[in-house]
Structure 1
């Protein structure tokens, strides 16, 4: 048995030639806080998201799959409008009782789900 405490981080990848574009997207459009990343041979950036981290690194382009990361948020309608104003691609998700949700595709092919618990 494994005694999980919390999620620590998740990692997404972008093509190497688009790393700086990804940094701008995640800081300026999504609004994430950059944090210091240890000096590795590989290139990338780290960001804070609530109480977990996003680790951004490079990898040759991969086909789109169903793998994704999901985040509970508040104000899902406002989040959708904000992303729409930036021309972000959306995917509607099947309904789950008690949750409103949607996914978006970042400019690099990563799928991210946002969800809000209904009251």
Structure 2
């Protein structure tokens, strides 16, 4: 049997690494990590105890073209405050879909990065 410890990282394909870095570093304020000297272009971020790895694929059929679809593949980050996260996204001009009373059992906010990858922010109701 496999004994799981936890999720280590999520990797996403991006078309333009520099554009993606602006979004993740400057808008979402993720902390960049040292990345090994792979031959591919990419960046690693700390997200709490887990990591997000962005890998540049300028020509890729794996990237989405549509808007926010909450039933499509995504990754989710738990945040302390739904209200503060929503206010920050408003201040940064990031479009989102908000579900403050989601049947999931917690409040949800969904955003798109510059390559249309879906990111969910989850928080306790009323936070």
Aligned partners of 2:112, 2:97: CA distance in 1, in Å? Answer: 8
Equivalent residue for 2:122, pick from 98, 115, 118: 115
Aligned partners of 1:74, 1:86: CA distance in 2, in Å? Answer: 18
**CA-to-partner distance for each residue in 1:48-105, whole Å, 9 max, x for gaps?**
0100011011123522471100111111111111112222121345822531112111
Equivalent residue for 1:52, pick from 44, 50, 53: 50
Aligned partners of 2:121, 2:32: CA distance in 1, in Å? Answer: 20
1:89·1:106 contact (CA, 8 Å) conserved in 2? no
Equivalent residue for 1:75, pick from 78, 81, 89: 81
Aligned length: 117
1:108 Cα shift?
Answer: 1.6
Could you state the TM-score of these two structures normalised by the residue count of structure 2?
A: 0.82
SS at match of 2:10: strand
SS at match of 1:4: coil
SS at match of 2:119: strand
Aligned partners of 2:33, 2:104: CA distance in 1, in Å? Answer: 36
1:116 Cα shift?
Answer: 0.7
| Runs of at least 5 residues in structure 2 that lack an aligned partner in the other structure | none
**CA-to-partner distance for each residue in 1:26-67, whole Å, 9 max, x for gaps?**
111101111100111110100101000110111235224711
| Shift >3 Å, 4+ stretches | none
RMSD: 1.9
Query: Hey, what does 1:98 align to over in structure 2?
Result: 105
